[in-house]
Amino acid sequence: MPTNSPPMQTFPLVFHASPDQTIAWRDGTPVSVRAFLADVRALAAALPEGGHVFNVCTDRYRFTVSLCATLVAGKTSLLPSTHTPEMVRALASFAPDAFCLHDSDDCAIDLPRFRYPDALRAPADGDGEATVPHIDGARVVAYVFTSGSTGAPVPHRKTWGFLVKNVRAAAARLNLLGDARATLIGTVPPQHMYGFESTVLLALLGGLAFSNRQPFYPVDIRAELDAIPEPRVLVSSPIHLRALFANDEALPRASLVLSATAPLSEKLALDAEARLQAPLMEIYGSTETGQIATRRTAQTAAWELFPDIALTPRADDAGEQTMWASGGHVEVPVPMGDALELIDGAHFLLHGRKADLINIAGKRTSLAYLNHQLNAVPGVVDGVFHMPDESGSDSEPVRRLMAVVVAPGLDAAGLQRALRERIDAAFMPRPLLFVDSLPRNATGKLPREVLTKLIETERQRRTALRFTVPPEHPALAGHFPGHPIVPGVVLLDHALDAIGAALGRRFDACRIESAKFLSPAAPGEALDIAYETAASGAIRFTIRAGERAVASGALAASSETATATATTTTATDAHAS
């Protein structure tokens, strides 16, 4: 007997009204839907065996053609959060038939590799290049991988129906649905969830166009905005926007600015709206739920849920409340990892990641709040607070909140004074580490494991520039009886040796331009050396015992030093733990 199964629901691959509509801009040249579909069909016919495709194409047009060709060919895309060798090994374990689809001359990913063809020829299938494929809504388009608390990659399946409903709801919220004139310009890569949704799928499923380029530096973002005709939508992140507004150079206007991946300050949102002459909308969501809310940050702190999406509080076994998202495109209720406060059925406040909440001396705050205050200090280019993991070691029984900061024009004491004006004393960072830059990824995020590695490197450097002068040192004899102190010349000698070793130079014949001895150093006392190299090649240094300054000075630039490329380096700080 025939079974009464529900009819299969399908959705088109693209939602554009006409095959002659522009779907992409390739290096300033428009590409029609008709031409795009021809490229999709040609690549689908050329793909090798293997059911799973690791798409690492850096050109956004090639990535999108590859995504659609993979779907048309009945294969599934793999979209991990990183491309590290460890992640690639995890992908190979998850999908042994996976191959890497790339567009690079030097791709070294350890999987079977297939290069995107330099020229694609559409197959003569006789049904017309402009025929739009329809995809079963239940088809798994991609597995998006995130890193769980254990560090193991966690796959999340994304069906075509889920993506269509989610992205079209987002397009409607942003007043972009069917706006055939609008072009998306993304500073974020298409492989990450935000870039995937807001620069690729938003174009395909919203009937828009996208630019193939991924401008990263401010000069490139300005050039791309200028090259694409209006109206144009800038899809970016706080780190890219902050860099874009670092100077007062005029910018081409946008019709809309989108931001995600990290909390955006009200000031930065106001700057964006003024400089780009466009409203800025922040997007909220998760890998599990997709996009579920937006807010215009320059006007409100409250987030507005998409229609049909609901947040419901539930208490766990420990009595702690968690918000669950459900309804709309969210196929099953999902617990949210953020601390959310409901205002009403459609609006909520975001208080940061639950994992970011910290409690010190009975006082509670979040790392997101502390990061906001740190980056609001004038002179801070970038910065982040960090709470180390439990060490489990008796030698380090207490975890200490620390901060890593890029602030070339500030010293530790000045930054600490500014932070005391903004945050409770319980959350002052110890230590405060200065670095040249933070190793953020292409979306502006700073993975915890990368930050931890950076901190460990800085700690090793700080330890290398720590010294003590033992009580039996011959220079201490007679200096002074009954109250021995380390002679200034010994302090300077140690400083020259340590800085020279750190820079790989010899300072035997250098000229000490200035030296000040600010407080006595006792034999056996732990002393730290901090230094920085000026553009001229001169080196300024400070010797400290904990937070107490012992000596400071400057070394004149030698002919060798003056010809070297100057970089600013801070090897330790005034608040070493």
Q: State residue 576's pLDDT score.
A: 29
Its sign, for the CA torsion 365, 369, 374, 378, is: negative
Nearest CA-CA partner of 389 in 399, 397, 379: 399
Q: State residue 5's pLDDT score.
A: 55
pLDDT reading at 446 higher than 60: yes
Q: Is the pTM of this model over 0.75?
A: no
The model's confidence at residue 410, banded by pLDDT at 50, 70 and 90, is confident
- Residue type at position 9: Q
- Residue type at position 483: H
Rounded to whole angstroms, how far apart are CA atoms 98 and 53? 5
- Of 386-395, 417-426, 432-441, least confident by mean pLDDT is 386-395
Nearest CA-CA partner of 271 in 238, 299, 245, 240: 245
- Please determine, looking at this structure, whether the domain spanning 466-563 carries the CATH number 3.40.50.300: no
Nearest CA-CA partner of 297 in 267, 338, 277: 267
Bridge partners for 236 per DSSP = 259
CATH superfamily assigned to domain 6-160: ANL, N-terminal domain (3.40.50.12780)
Q: State residue 361's pLDDT score.
A: 60
Segment 250-280, tens digit of pLDDT: 999 999 999 998 888 899 999 999 999 999 9
Nearest CA-CA partner of 209 in 16, 35, 78, 377: 16
Fold of the domain spanning 374-461? GMP Synthetase; Chain A, domain 3 (3.30.300)
> Between β-strands 321-327 and 153-159, what pairing exists: parallel, antiparallel or unpaired?
unpaired
Q: What is the mean pLDDT of residues 211-221?
A: 94
The model's confidence at residue 152, banded by pLDDT at 50, 70 and 90, is low
Structure token digits, residue 408: 């070339």
Segment 90-145, tens digit of pLDDT: 899 999 999 999 999 999 999 999 999 988 865 554 445 689 999 999 999 999 98
Segment 495-542, tens digit of pLDDT: 888 888 776 677 766 788 889 999 999 999 989 888 776 656 678 888
Its sign, for the CA torsion 535, 539, 544, 546, is: positive
Q: How many helices and strands (H and E) does the chain possess? A: 14, 32
Query: What is each CA distance from 419 to 321, 411, 518, 572, in whole angstroms?
Result: 32, 12, 25, 19
Rounded to whole angstroms, how far apart are CA atoms 327 and 306? 10
Asked whether 296 and 279 are in contact (CB, 8 A), the reply is: yes
The pLDDT mean for the chain works out to 86
The ranges assigned to domains in the chain are 6-160, 374-461, 466-563
Q: State residue 568's pLDDT score.
A: 32
